[in-house]
Homo-oligomer: A and B are copies of this chain.
């Protein structure tokens, strides 16, 4: 297995929408370029990107405009997992053809309790149909949303059959013991899968992940707080930088966005970008998500001002943003 240049911090990039709810390529490109300048890789079309609220054509269009704007595919890990094997193949082949370094793949999530054999056949079918040696899949485990999850034995079978295509995993279970199980089984132990790249789905587990052989985080909050998260990623093994304290500070900022007093993480992140760019259009979400009310937006700003590192998130970005 070859390692990819994706290790580190990636943002599941929030997607800007126009007033008619169509994708807004201009703001999207600007946000992606800012994230890259903050050392963030681009996990476009993830859960926090409202990817599943978009049609396949909208996702492919946005990927193409990003590439046309000069953003390197080597820093991209688009989400391509749909309920339908034909749609997943289409989006995955499109991403690989355009040189994306990896893809983040949800399991098919409509049918529940489908069992390991069915999921194994599904991923096998995708890999064989895409049929491209450049394909690097990061399996996406997010049971609180997809309900259908990935199991260690499924990963073991897939790695045996497709050691080049299965590159790693994003664990958004929110359960550190689950991440640790995968790290010990596939990332650390020699043999089966040297280099299996384990990302945690929240920077809350970044320090622990790095200490146990993980490679980084793909975290929603990287949309607004990329510098501080990247700093911990770089300094985790340098005791003089007090990584535990850095981790604690990241957690406090994350707590603000994940607060149950806001309708969703996606909406809170977009509202923070709207505030920091002085551009209310950024607050828009597609239904079934709802944006923050004026009162909630005021509360979010107040809470951010109250936490260390929060004020920087609210301050206007560089004038060329």
Contact = CB atoms under 8 A, between A and B. Distances in A.
Contacts of A255: none
A162 interface: no
Nearest to A290: B118
A264 interface: yes
Given A53-B83, A53-B85, A84-B52, A111 B58 contact: no
Nearest to A121: B287
B125 A21 contact: yes
Counted per complex, copies of this chain come to 2
A111 B121 CA distance: 25
A119 B288 contact: yes
A-side interface size class: 35 or more
A288 B111 contact: yes
Nearest to A123: B287
Contact of A111 (B56, B83, B125, B145): B145
Interface of A: 21, 47, 52-56, 58, 83-87, 90, 107-112, 114-115, 117-119, 121-122, 124-125, 144-148, 263-264, 286-290
13 contacts: A52-B83, A52-B110, A53-B108, A54-B84, A54-B86, A55-B56, A55-B84, A55-B86, A108-B288, A111-B289, A115-B263, A118-B289, A122-B288
